[in-house]
Amino acid sequence: MGQQIIVFSVIAIAMLLFIDGRIRYDFVALLGMLVLVVTGVIIPENAFLGFSHPAVITVAAVLVISSALIKTGAIDHLVVLLNRGTKSNSMKLIGLMLVTAVISGFMNNVGALALIMPIAISVAKDSKIAPSNFLMPIAFASLLGGMMTEIGTPPNLIISIYRTEAGMEPFAFFDFTPVGIVMVIIGIIYMAMIGWRMIPHRLSNDNEQLFHIDEYLSEVLVSRNCKMIGKSLREFYTVYKLDINVIGIIRNGRKIIAPLANEQLVIDDVLILKAVPTELTDLVEKTGMTLKGSKLDEMDLGEKFNIKELALVEVVLRGESPLIGRNAVEAQLRNRFNVNLVAVSRKGTSSIRRLKAFKFRPGDILLIQVPESMLHDTYSKLRCLPLAERGVSINTDKSKRNQYIALGIFATSITLTTFGLLPVQIAFMIAALLMVLFDIITAREFYDAIEWPTIIMLGAFLPVGSALQSSGSSDTIANFLVQFSLNNSPGFTIAALMTLTMVLTNLINNAAAAVLMAPIALSLSAFMGVSPDPFLMSVCVASSSAFLTPIGHQSNMLVMGPGGYQFRDYWKVGLPLSILIIVVGTPLILLVWPF
């Protein structure tokens, strides 16, 4: 009983820390696991066994494969079709959700969203409607699509392996498909007929850009009377303390893009900078610089820096971005990433001042300046998603070759897994390795593609799930659920388990929810003396149903800023969908996976 109290206490505190968010979820998981080791619930020899768990290995491999498929443009042929055809907004919504769900079934949820989100914004712009009409639906579709295959989402992999603890084989690759497809159809029908009516339309129809940066780009000349001649940009910022950002220097016809802080100013330098009018006036008065012009239009900027060399792009930050919790100075955006921060928007509200002190959060939208040749590398390093539609990478023979090879490797790994020739973790790790050996991605891109916070969280929290089972805590919860539903039908127990899992997955990471609920599902089946399959499948479906909060899944958080959503918007749209999932999913699971 003492161990159960410790386990319940650790899980309760971990959940509170997950919800609070001030300590990142991977460190919360590590802390929970280590507390259980110190208190003797987990023996030290088993503390780090979770990192060798097949689910952890497979998640890492799927992330690498997803990155390779995105880089080659292998799936762009499919998504680019969404910007053509029907003029009906309802049909566009259905098309966006359908393709997102299909892609999400075979790659990382966020990877699927990364492909579709720029297309959705472009479609909304062409249709003269707010992006909020499409962004929440495709985020939900990325979650629904993950239900369809074993690799669609980490909870499916976790639950598949937990099936072996009941003395059975892991679930096969497409065992999830019958239930998953119906959930996708239910979700699309709901969003197309009812859900879209409850989505807020906060951005006006003529708001084509989140940032109107042309209003704040100015050109100044370092004249002979300027006080900053021979001084560095660092001294410039330190001495005058102006909210001004130098984004480029033209010196004797040579272009210096995103100059470093130690760059010294010389006579006749032309500075391209971002500033509001009041700061620009102070700059001229204090430094003696000469104002050459303001409100440079896009063509002027392109002529000065060559559009092939320089790009202004909008990106949204992911939860594992190295910028989270830092400002531009602390993150050393220029020196480390060769990136110049021009503007920031949070939840639809842009900020054009005090950018150096702006602490970044997941879902923030950044307008950055970066050499065009480094765009893909920048997205990878910053862990961000672009909000501009990408072209199809089919221009060269090498790119075509890489697309075919990447798709061939991926299809082969699925085939090997489907027919049971290789375990899923082996087949997909081979596929990830082949992506490097065939020069589709580099060794550095291999490691960059892996979301290490997710891997750490899974590896550390899996022993916590085992402790839940070994201490008898899962049996205690299962016994309570059995007693609670004793006078009701077996379906009521499934519905109760799904409801509890949904509550958890909307508050903490969905993989963590699956880790906690899988032992309870196994204990329930043992108490009732029935097959564990319907209970495990109900946990799979429910842990992918994080529709009530933006913190429940990265996909929800990533569309929050671009869509201009507020926290309450998610449960307004997501609550009816969650109820539908339980009402339809309970009998469907029992039909496909009977007791």
218 and 73 together in one domain:
no
**Would you say residue 9 lies in a domain?**
yes
Q: Please, which pLDDT band fits residue 529 given cuts at 50, 70 and 90? A: confident
Torsion-angle region of residue 295: left (phi > 0), alpha (psi -120 to 50) or beta?
Answer: left
* Of the residues 278, 305, 332, the one at which a domain ends: 305
297 and 317 together in one domain:
no
Q: Please, which pLDDT band fits residue 70 given cuts at 50, 70 and 90? A: confident
Tokens of 330: 């602390």
How far is CA 211 from its chain centroid? Answer: 22
Q: Please, which pLDDT band fits residue 22 given cuts at 50, 70 and 90? A: confident
537: pLDDT strictly greater than 90: yes
**pTM score, two decimals?**
0.78
pLDDT score recorded for residue 455: 92
Residues whose CB is less than 8 angstroms from the CB of residue 548 and which lie 6 or more positions away in sequence, other chains included: 502, 506, 570, 571, 574, 575, 578
58: pLDDT strictly greater than 80: yes
257 and 142 together in one domain:
no
Q: Please, which pLDDT band fits residue 298 given cuts at 50, 70 and 90? A: very low
252 and 117 together in one domain:
no
522 vs 518: CA distance, rounded Å: 6
**Would you say residue 400 lies in a domain?**
no
174: pLDDT strictly greater than 90: yes
Q: How many domains does the chain have?
A: 3
Q: Which long-range contacts (CB under 8 A, 24 or more apart) does 167-175 make?
A: 168/532, 170/54, 170/423, 170/424, 171/536, 172/417, 172/418, 172/420, 173/149, 173/414, 173/417, 173/418, 173/424, 174/149, 174/150, 174/418, 175/150
**Would you say residue 30 lies in a domain?**
yes
339 and 378 together in one domain:
yes
53 and 174 together in one domain:
yes
> Containing domain of residue 259, as a range?
213-305
pLDDT score recorded for residue 390: 46
143: pLDDT strictly greater than 90: yes
Q: What is the mean pLDDT of the chain?
A: 84
- Of 200-214, 314-328, 512-526, the range with the highest mean pLDDT is 512-526
- 254 or 204, greater pLDDT: 254
E-only strand ranges, 455-583: none
Contact 376, 71 (CB under 8 A): yes
Q: Give per-residue pLDDT as tens, 480-508.
A: 887 776 666 778 889 999 999 999 999 88
Helix (H, G, I), strand (E, B) or coil at 384: strand
How much is the average pLDDT of 319-348? Answer: 81
pLDDT score recorded for residue 481: 82
245 and 319 together in one domain:
no
412 vs 410: CA distance, rounded Å: 5
**Would you say residue 551 lies in a domain?**
yes
297 and 335 together in one domain:
no
310 vs 331: CA distance, rounded Å: 21
Q: Please, which pLDDT band fits residue 544 given cuts at 50, 70 and 90? A: very high
**Would you say residue 333 lies in a domain?**
yes
Tokens of 271: 């500075």
Q: Give per-residue pLDDT as tens, 441-476.
A: 999 889 988 989 889 999 999 999 889 888 988 888
How much is the average pLDDT of 334-343? Answer: 80
> Where residue 228 sits, what CATH number does that domain have?
3.30.70.1450
391: pLDDT strictly greater than 70: no
Lowest-pLDDT range, 352-356, 527-531, 558-562? 352-356
How much is the average pLDDT of 50-62? Answer: 92
244 and 173 together in one domain:
no
Residues whose CB is less than 8 angstroms from the CB of residue 425 and which lie 6 or more positions away in sequence, other chains included: 54, 55, 57, 58, 61
194 and 255 together in one domain:
no
201 and 224 together in one domain:
no
Q: Give per-residue pLDDT as tens, 257-280.
A: 778 888 888 998 888 877 766 677
* Of the residues 341, 360, 386, the one at which a domain ends: 386
How much is the average pLDDT of 56-70? Answer: 91
* Of the residues 260, 285, 305, the one at which a domain ends: 305
**Would you say residue 17 lies in a domain?**
yes
How much is the average pLDDT of 563-571? Answer: 86
C-alpha atoms less than 13 angstroms from C-alpha of 323 in its C-beta half-sphere: 33
Q: Please, which pLDDT band fits residue 296 given cuts at 50, 70 and 90? A: very low
**Would you say residue 411 lies in a domain?**
no
pLDDT score recorded for residue 124: 82
255 vs 261: CA distance, rounded Å: 16
Contact 553, 104 (CB under 8 A): no
Contact 569, 528 (CB under 8 A): no
Q: Please, which pLDDT band fits residue 341 given cuts at 50, 70 and 90? A: confident
192 and 220 together in one domain:
no
